[in-house]
Amino acid sequence: MPRRPFLDPRNIQVIDDVTAEYYRRKTGAEKLKIASDMHAGVRSLVRSYLAVTHAEWDQRRLMFETCRTMLGASEETMRQWMAGMADGRTEHSA
């Protein structure tokens, strides 16, 4: 089955003028805080869903699968990336 594009044009919603103006008035730091909070919220929801649907997973597996789900990565890709992180072979080893 072909993989769906990341952004499906049928799912794009246009915000109203009031909401657009609200975000225009925000500083870069405020916008970044909003985005960070949204990311944390989604991560929490994904982790909670996975914990409920896979009660047999330990905390390490939950963390791995939460990251994998949010990145849309295959299990093999994630394992290679994590191995690189452990060995210091990735650019983003923070």
17 to 20, 22, 23, 24, 35: CA distances (angstroms): 5, 9, 10, 10, 20
pTM of whole model > 0.85?
no
* pLDDT tens-place string over residues 31-75: 999 999 999 999 999 999 999 999 999 999 999 899 889 988 888
Side chain identity at residue 22, one-letter code: Y
CA distances from 3 to 40, 69, 81 (A): 26, 15, 22
Neighbour tally for 43: CB within 10 Å? 14
pLDDT: which is higher, 76 or 82 = 76
- What is residue 94's predicted lDDT score, i.e. its pLDDT? 42
